[in-house]
Structure 1
Amino acid sequence: MDGRLALELAGTIRHDGSGVADDLDGVEGTAHWLAAAAHLLPEGAAPPVDEELHAQVVTLRGAVRTLFARVVGTARPDPADTRLPPPDREALALLNAAAARQAVVPRLRWEGPDVPTVEFAPGGGCPDTVAALARAAIAFLEGPDRERLRVCTAPRCERYFVQAHGRQQWCGTSCGNRARAARHYRRHAAART
């Protein structure tokens, strides 16, 4: 499972400079986001979205953001989270329960003279969207990118990102520009007083 999906899910709520932007705002927003993330989901894991699926994805997002905050050492809730995120233990239980919604079966692959490998695939039925999102978060939290997970330090951002180099502090160029502009403004405001 691709860990980028977990970062995408965590990034569906953020400050956009003028307020909180929530890509999962309502059934329509969730459907749009799942369609945009379909290339990261298992085939068939993006069914029509109803109120129940929307609520489950939003709840899972809160759990993922809680666990990401634990990784980066943020004790306070992110101001972008409009609902109080669940405590660590509850977030972990939510994530594991969501991942367990889809059965997994091992499949042996043996192509050519190479050594056979085992892959795990959804067992029976249509892949479960919430389970796929939860499993992506588990793969991310268990994988090597967890050590490089950071929260953006730009004003009003607090998005999660995987640090590409040792000095990276921001999730993107626009946040870096905003942080430098704020720092410049503070220095010049202090010099005038």
Structure 2
Amino acid sequence: MERYLALELASTIRHDGDGGVADDLATLQGTARWIREQAGDIGDIGDIADGLTADESLRSEVVALRQAVRALFAHAVRPGPPSPADAHRLMPVDQALARLNAAAGGEPVTPRLDWPSGGVPATRLLSAEKDPRLRLVAALARAAIDFLAGPRREDLRACTAPRCVRYFVKRHGRQEWCKPSCGNRARAARHYRRHSAADAGPSQP
């Protein structure tokens, strides 16, 4: 299954299993854990991300970037509904774009083409930036730009299952929810609503 770093960032806000919303970036420990888990997907700086020590400044920057990404995800899924987790407090699209582009521009990079003998050509980004925190945030922002400017943006959806707050990439034509358990919960809710309406009977004048 394909993984998208931008989607992983947006999904650090999730259903907590008890009817509430959990934030994986709410603490320094949680932020450090999430960065370690994503290290393999953060391009050429995966080794830096894997050994990075998260401080409050870095946590705040990643959270601010997530806020911009989720606002742009909400914009991308229109006219469908956004995630209910933050639908009432999304930043304006122009501010989200400015924040995302500023984060990506924080690390000037130069593309380089590598073509080993007998191998396949590939590109990588070269940077003179030494601050691993700045490089991390810039890499996350570039991943979001690549996703939002790419073809899978058209398949982005907000899961509409009860209590779910995730965005997901629709992988086949009939997919309505982010995972089977959400589909089961949504069908159970529909069944309950139908039977409750039937049991209530016609309204009295």
- RMSD (Å) for aligned C-alpha atoms: 2.3
- Given that 1:77 and 1:85 are in contact with CA atoms closer than 8 Å, whether structure 2 keeps it comes out as no
1:29 corresponding residue in structure 2:
30
Distance apart, 1:118 and its partner CA: 6.1
Distance apart, 1:75 and its partner CA: 8.4
1:64 corresponding residue in structure 2:
69
Superposed, 1:145-160 pairs within 5 Å as: 145-160=152-167
For residues 118 and 38 of structure 1, what CA distance do their matches in structure 2 show?
20
- Given that 1:63 and 1:95 are in contact with CA atoms closer than 8 Å, whether structure 2 keeps it comes out as yes
Letter in 1 for 2:171: A
The structure-2 alpha-carbon separation of the partners of 1:152 and 1:121, relative to structure 1 and needing over 3 Å to count, comes to: same
2:91 corresponding residue in structure 1:
86
Superposed, 1:1-193 pairs within 5 Å as: 4-17=4-17, 18-41=19-42, 42-43=45-46, 44-46=48-50, 47-73=52-78, 78-81=83-86, 84-112=89-117, 117=121, 119-124=123-128, 125=130, 127=132, 128-193=135-200
- Please identify the structure whose Cα radius of gyration is greater: 2
How many residue pairs end up in the alignment?
191
TM-score (norm 1): 0.89
Residue identity over aligned pairs, in percent, reads 57
1:37 aligned counterpart, secondary structure: helix
**Which of 177-186 and 38-47 deviates more?**
38-47
The structure-2 alpha-carbon separation of the partners of 1:76 and 1:192, relative to structure 1 and needing over 3 Å to count, comes to: closer
The answer for unaligned runs of 5 or more in structure 2 is: 201-205
More RCO (CA 8 Å, sep 6+): 1
Letter in 2 for 1:13: I
